[in-house]
Chains A and B, each alone.
Chain A
Amino acid sequence: MILSVEKINTFYGDSHILFDVDLTIAEGEVVSLLGRNGAGKTTTLRSIMGLTPPRAGRVRWLDEEVQRLKPHEIARKGVGFVPEDRRIFSRLSVEENLEIGAFKLEGPSAWTLERIYGLFPKLEQLKAHKGNELSGGEQQMLAIARALMGAPRLVLLDEPSEGLAPAIVKDVGEMIGTLRDEGIAVLLVEQNTRFACRLSDRVYIIDNGRVRFGGTVAELEADEELKSRYLAV
């Protein structure tokens, strides 16, 4: 396993959000975390990233416990983070946003600006534009590309399809396909079940801060009760 989350409990102040959450991701695997609004999906990603560290439980990266590390230390292990709302640096140009993504790397990287521009030609056209001049779809593309610049082995993707037109959602799906082709593992948080299932090897369902299901896409598809109970279909 590249990442194992073992019985983490996470709080915001006094509110207990995650209860004994377990999940694993193997090298190169695309795993989705599904659930309704407020189920604890984003909190799970924030816990893994060290942004809201769990109070109990373990997060294991390869063979190492990382739940006490700072976000930048976890990022440097090889975790890319694409948050909800994309969080593009609005006052930086597209190219500067990409450069910031590569800042943590010490040596030369397989992910150069040229390679990113080759994969996402749109970004090259926009490279001099400021972050706040981009459309939602362009921002999503940039957020994923920015994570790629850090040469990740795992990318945490938080609701990449949210608020995007269907045609753009398809583009985002292709980008996630690119990550898979590159052998990068993905933990995809989604409310769009169909979109997530099409891309994933395995699926978890989280509800009220507890993992209710973990299995293959086929297993989930076969269980209508599970879907109607925990997912807004």
Chain B
Amino acid sequence: MELDVSFWLTQFLNGLANAMVLFLIASGLTILLGVLGVLNLAHGSFYMLGAFLIFSSSIIKNPSWFWVGLLLAPLVVAGFGTIIEAFCLRPLYGRERLYTLLLTYGFTLILDDLVLLIWGRDYKSVPIPALFEGRLTIGDFSYPVYFLFIIAVGPLLGVFLWFILNRTNFGKLIRAAATDSEMLDALGVNVNRVFTGVFALGAWLASLGGILAAPMRSVEPGMGVEIIIESFIVVIIGGMGSYLGAFVGAVLIGMLKAFGIEILENFAMIFIYALVLPILILRPRGLFGETTI
């Protein structure tokens, strides 16, 4: 059997592009878990909303549609997330976690139906923005430019997130709230505002993931539920509350899927669970999980 280098390179890059989208969803999910202790099942719905909003903006016949959508849609979704957090989630923080799980699960159902109602059932495709059309060709190897754009955006957003968490006041408050939100409250910080900010940031990231993924896939209701499962696996692998873990976990899952499909066409998920199992046994808090929460 001949080793086809350009084929494997393509798979590798595909895996990386998918990993970057997954990272955007999982990083928000993991910060939310770390700070609020809330598993937001509706997080995938923000991804879906991002994808549908960029679809709507792609109908505008102007080359700037993608950039306008990329700028505005995440803000719309973040605003929507703010409302959900402040009015629906906040009253439940003092209660058992089951309530927030049920509530956010309820939102996935509502948002799926809302999307059906507004955009209809048929599959939608979003064109690749004009700037990134075409393929990059080096010798025998050729690869879509848009996927390379995604691969570059992922680490950039990772650095952006690192900057927010480690170099801004908001980030300081997020990290403090993750350790001891009651103490933060007693020091005069309105912790509810920090929580809302974290939720909005997560929604912003997830919808950005949906926008970037839209031209690579079909846009359909239910795409949020699909991605939330993979994102949750990423969070488990990386460790709850660790965005570096989310990055590493996303790359691992992206690769396992890209190469797993080549080995066992319909059963690529087997490899993912085969990875999760030993991690859960050997490092129950994930690869980058804190030893104390």
Q: Which residues of A are at the interface with B, using a C-beta cutoff of 8 A? A: 49, 51, 70-72, 75-76, 81, 83, 87, 89-92, 96, 99-101, 103-104, 132, 146-147, 150
Contact A75 B175 (CB under 8 A): no
Question: Closest residue of chain A to B179, judged by CB?
Answer: A89
The answer on a CB contact under 8 Å between B187 and A104 is yes
Contact assessment for B178 and A104 in the assembled complex, using a CB-CB cutoff below 8 Å: no
- With known contacts A83-B183, A99-B172, A91–B178 Cβ distance under 8 A: yes
Which chain B residues border A49 with CB–CB below 8 Å?
186
Rounded to whole Å, the gap between the CB of B7 and the closest CB of chain A is 44
Q: Which residue of B lies closest to A45 (CB)?
A: B186
CB-based closest 8 A-B pairs: A104-B188, A75-B188, A71-B185, A81-B186, A87-B183, A89-B176, A71-B186, A89-B179
| Measured CA separation A124–B183 after assembly (Å) | 23
Contact call A101/B187, Cβ cutoff below 8 A: yes
Size of interface on B: residues with Cβ below 8 Å to A: 20
Structural contact, B172 and A72, CB atoms closer than 8 A: no
Whole-angstrom distance between the Cβ of B286 and the nearest chain A Cβ = 16
* Cβ-based interface call for B191 (8 A): yes
Which of chain B's residues 190-229 have a Cβ closer than 8 Å to chain A?
190-191
B175: chain A residues within 8 A (beta carbon): 89, 91-92, 96
- B182 close to A (CB within 8 Å): yes
- Give the Cβ gap from A70 to chain B, nearest Cβ, in Å: 7
Q: Is B133 an interface residue (CB 8 A)?
A: no
In the complex, 12 of the A-B residue pairs with CB atoms within 8 angstroms, ordered by the A residue number, are: A49-B186, A72-B186, A72-B191, A75-B185, A75-B186, A76-B188, A81-B183, A87-B183, A89-B183, A101-B187, A103-B173, A150-B188
Bound complex: CA A70 to CA B184 (Å): 12
Contact residues in A for B176 (Cβ distance below 8 Å): 89, 92, 96, 100
The docked-state distance in angstroms from the alpha carbon of A91 to that of B173 is 11
Contacting pair B186 A83 (CB below 8 A): yes
| Residues of chain B lying within 8 A (CB to CB) of residue A99 | 169, 172
Beyond the given pairs A51-B186, A71-B186, A91-B179, 14 more chain A to chain B contacts, judged by CB atoms under 8 angstroms and listed by A's residue number, are A72-B191, A75-B185, A81-B183, A81-B186, A81-B187, A83-B186, A87-B180, A87-B183, A89-B175, A89-B179, A89-B184, A99-B172, A100-B173, A103-B188
Complex CA gap A43/B41 in Å reads 37
A89-B175, A99-B172 known; A72+B190 contact, CB < 8 A: yes
CB neighbours of A51 from chain B (8 A): 182, 185-186
* Contact partners of A72 in chain B: CB under 8 A: 185-191
Assess the B184–A100 pair: CB atoms within 8 A: yes
**Minimum CB–CB distance for A187 against chain B, Å:** 14
Residues of A close to B186: CB separation below 8 A? 49, 51, 71-72, 75, 81, 83
Q: Tell me, in angstroms, the Cα distance from A132 to B290 when the chains sit together.
A: 12
- Chain B, residue nearest A132 (CB): B292
How far does the alpha carbon of A132 sit from the alpha carbon of B173 in the complex, in Å? 17
- CA–CA, A75 to B189, complex, Å? 8
CB distance from B137 to the nearest CB of A (A): 47
Complex CA distance for A87 and B292, rounded to whole angstroms: 13
Known: A51-B186, A71-B185, A150-B187. A96 touches B172 (CB 8 A): yes
**Which residues of B117-166 are within 8 A (CB) of A?**
none
- B178/A75 in contact, CB under 8 A: no
List chain B residues, Cβ under 8 A from A101. Answer: 187
CB-contact partner of A89 in B180, B190, B191, under 8 A: B180
User: A91-B178, A92-B179 are contacts. A100–B292 as well, Cβ < 8 Å?
Assistant: no
Of A71, A83, A103, the residue contacting B169 (CB under 8 A) is: A103
A103 and B179 form a contact (CB under 8 A): no
User: A75, A90, A92, A96: which contacts B292 (Cβ < 8 A)?
Assistant: A90
Closest to B185 in A: A71
- Known A100-B172, A100-B173, A103-B173: A90·B189 in contact at CB below 8 Å: no
Closest CB in chain B relative to A72 CB, distance in Å:
5
Minimal beta-carbon separation of A103 from chain B (angstroms): 6
Bound together, the chains give a CA A91 to CA B172 distance in angstroms of 10
Q: What's the minimum C-beta distance from B235 to chain A, rounded to whole angstroms?
A: 18
Give Cα A28 to B182, complex, Å: 27
